[in-house]
């Protein structure tokens, strides 16, 4: 099993639960309903988290824990739109029992290091993808290297992204990138509206890969990099690889695990 994704049996001990919810009225109402049926503790005292909201709120919750260096297992309940990273919210039942039966998915994010045109270095993690995007009407021109070897001397287009299996059904899929099974130990390198080379479909890379993007003519053709929701503008060079020192645990109801959703997504027409 690779570093970026692991699955296994639920470990006991998820008894003290913290409750977090997005700022929507729907999520706040659901949080009140849950609080009437279960006892919740503060985040500092918890050994697992119940998160109410959509995929965006789940990403925010995971990033907050990455930033705080205290990563707790998270059981998401969907009160958003897609809810790909979430479980269904039924509005009834014992949440403690659901979490006791849940299956864990352990993932590692991407680590992005961006160097701006002014020489500033900015690091951030991405659970879904790291994407480079043109900032103006000018086409972006980007060199792509994998493990120190130049693979695409110049990609001309709107940009390019590198996605994890967890993120392969998000922006990557919208850009016609491949869906990656969670146990594939692969990353998806996908062009965004490529002009040249026009027929390059992208690549599937081993998760051990270190990918470097260098922006050509950065002053004339400025490019921004986005690691999930973290944006850095006017970049000159970007390095991306798996952050092997960081682990996050997502909890899913049996039969509704993310790997099954990824398989199912490939048959939606």
pLDDT tens-digit readout, 78-102: 998 878 889 999 877 788 889 999 9
Across the chain, mean pLDDT equals 90
CB 158 within 8 A of CB 193: yes
Annotation: CATH topology of 5-108+246-265: Rossmann fold (3.40.50)
Q: Is 92 annotated as a binding residue?
A: no
Residue 59's region, left for phi above 0, alpha for psi from -120 to 50, else beta, is alpha
Query: DSSP character for 136?
Result: S
Q: What is the pLDDT at residue 269?
A: 64
Q: What is the mean pLDDT of residues 38-48?
A: 93
Q: Is 55 among the catalytic positions? A: yes
Instruction: Look at residue 105 in the predicted model and tell me its pLDDT.
Output: 86
158 is in an annotated binding site: yes
| pLDDT tens digits along 211-236 | 999 999 999 999 999 999 899 999 99
C-alpha 240/C-alpha 129 separation (Å) is: 10
In the chain, % of residues over pLDDT 90: 71
**Mean of pLDDT values over 154-174:** 95
At 13, is the pLDDT very low, low, confident or very high (cuts 50, 70, 90)? low
The larger pLDDT score, comparing residue 15 to residue 113, is at 113
Band of pLDDT at residue 260, cut at 50, 70 and 90: confident
Domain definitions of the chain by residue range: 5-108+246-265, 110-242
Same fold across 5-108+246-265 and 110-242: no
Determine whether the annotation assigns residue 150 to a binding site.
no
What pLDDT score does 10 carry?
41
Q: Sorting pLDDT into bands at 50, 70 and 90, what band is 109?
A: very high
Do 228 and 60 contact (CB within 8 A), yes or no? no
Residue 166 marked ligand-binding = yes
At 125 the pLDDT is 95
* pTM for the model: 0.83
**176 annotated ligand-binding residue:** no
State the Cα–Cα distance between residues 203 and 176, nearest whole angstrom: 12
pLDDT in the model for residue 1: 36
Angle subtended at Cα 212 by Cα 226 and Cα 168, rounded to the nearest 5 degrees: 50
Candidates 2.60.200.30, 1.10.287.130, 3.30.413.10, 1.20.1250.20; correct CATH number of 110-242? 2.60.200.30
Among 88-97, 101-110, 121-130, name the one with the lowest average pLDDT: 88-97
Is the predicted pLDDT of residue 14 greater than 50, yes or no?
yes
Coil, strand or helix: which one is 63? helix
Assigned token pair, 184: 């594939």
The more confident residue out of 100 and 4 is 100
What are the beta bridge partners of residue 125? 111
Candidate list 55, 67, 228, 259, residue with the active-site label:
55
Structure tokens at 101: 């039966």
């Amino acid at each position: 099993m690779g570093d970026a994704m692991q699955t296994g049996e639920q470990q006991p001990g998820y008894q003290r639960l913290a409750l977090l919810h997005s700022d929507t009225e729907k999520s706040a109402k659901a949080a009140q309903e849950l609080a009437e049926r279960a006892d919740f503790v503060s985040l500092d005292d918890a050994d697992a988290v119940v998160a109410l909201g959509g995929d965006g709120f789940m990403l925010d919750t995971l990033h907050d824990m990455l930033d705080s260096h205290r990563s707790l297992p998270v059981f998401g309940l969907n009160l958003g739109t897609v809810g790909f990273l979430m479980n269904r919210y039924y509005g009834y039942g014992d949440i403690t029992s659901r979490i006791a039966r849940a299956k864990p998915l352990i993932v590692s994010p991407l680590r992005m290091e961006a160097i701006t045109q002014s020489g500033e270095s900015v690091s951030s993690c991405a659970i879904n993808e790291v994407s480079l995007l043109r900032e103006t009407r000018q086409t972006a021109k980007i060199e792509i290297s994998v493990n120190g070897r130049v693979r695409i001397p110049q990609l001309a287009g709107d940009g390019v992204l590198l996605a994890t299996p967890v993120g392969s059904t998000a922006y990557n899929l919208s850009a016609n990138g491949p869906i990656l099974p969670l146990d594939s130990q692969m990353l998806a390198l996908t062009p965004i509206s490529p002009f040249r080379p026009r027929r390059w479909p992208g690549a599937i890379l081993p998760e051990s890969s270190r990918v470097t993007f260098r922006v050509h003519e950065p002053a004339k053709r400025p490019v921004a990099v986005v690691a999930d929701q973290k944006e850095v503008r006017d970049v000159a060079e970007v390095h991306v690889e798996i952050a092997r020192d960081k682990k996050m645990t997502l909890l899913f109801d049996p039969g509704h695990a993310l790997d099954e959703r990824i398989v199912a997504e490939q048959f939606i027409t």
